[in-house]
Amino acid sequence: MHVHSSASFDCLTEPEQVAVRSRRLGLTPVFLTDHDTIDGAILLQSSGLDRVVVGEEVMTSEGELIGLFLVRQVASGLTPEVAAREIKSQGGLVYLEHPYDRSRRHLSESSIEALAELIDIVEVFNGRSDKRANQQAEELCRTLGVAAGAGSDAHSIKEIGSVYVEMEEFNGPQDFLAKLWRSKIVRHKNRRLLAIEAAARGGFHPRRVRS
């Protein structure tokens, strides 16, 4: 539910490579959520080779927010509320990602509180976030009473599949949201986090780290 391609400024993996990797892992459809663009997702969608959910990780005036099931790009720099309402106007879903990850551009608690009625999903497990940040996100999800989401937040080919959601087949955003409540989150630590944790313990051995 949270994957990047080279359409993002901080990723080198081409959209087609994302699709191939996802297909090999049995992950479908592809959820592509690039920073401030839907170009990569539209490219994949137009190829007709893979099912694609068009998403965007939008940089608002106060932090990042994801829109899923989009039909057009959401402009960056909008207030969180305006961005969320633009997502909703397209029939999309508002997905709050890594809300407590201090290393990422997340929304403040006051922004989240003001936005609460518009949030559909909270990302309770992000493959690049630490345990504490994910636990806090899970608590927030329960407080808001919304569906729980998860994603690898992959910025490299090897990170794809480190976190994914198993769920029933769905047809459109509202059916997806309804079935997301009955889904199962499959979690693995990705190579990047393992390396960071090993380095913090003073035992970083790159060749021993597995993805």
What pLDDT, in 10s, does the model give residues 14-25? Answer: 999 999 999 999
In a domain, 102, yes or no: yes
Helix (H, G, I), strand (E, B) or coil at 55: strand
Helix axes 39-47, 15-25, angle to 10 degrees: 60
Q: What is the DSSP string of 71-125?
A: SSPPPTT--HHHHHHHHHHTT-EEEE--TT-TTS-PPPHHHHHHHGGG--EEEEE
33 falls within a domain: yes
The continuous run of DSSP H or E covering 18 comes out as helix 15-25
Residue 9 lies in a domain: no
* pLDDT tens readout for residues 65-118: 999 999 999 999 999 999 999 999 999 999 999 999 988 889 999 999 999 999
Q: Answer yes or no: is 31 within a domain.
A: yes
Task: Answer whether residue 5 is part of any domain.
Answer: no
What is the rounded distance in angstroms from the CA atom of residue 12 to the CA atom of residue 31? 17
- Domain-located, residue 196: yes
Q: Is 135 inside any structural domain?
A: yes
CATH no. for residue 152?
A: 3.20.20.140
> What is the tally of structural domains in the chain?
1
> How high is the pLDDT of residue 3?
98
- What pLDDT shows up at residue 207? 39
192 domain-assigned: yes
- The boundaries of the domain holding residue 114 are 15-208
Coil, helix or strand at residue 69:
coil
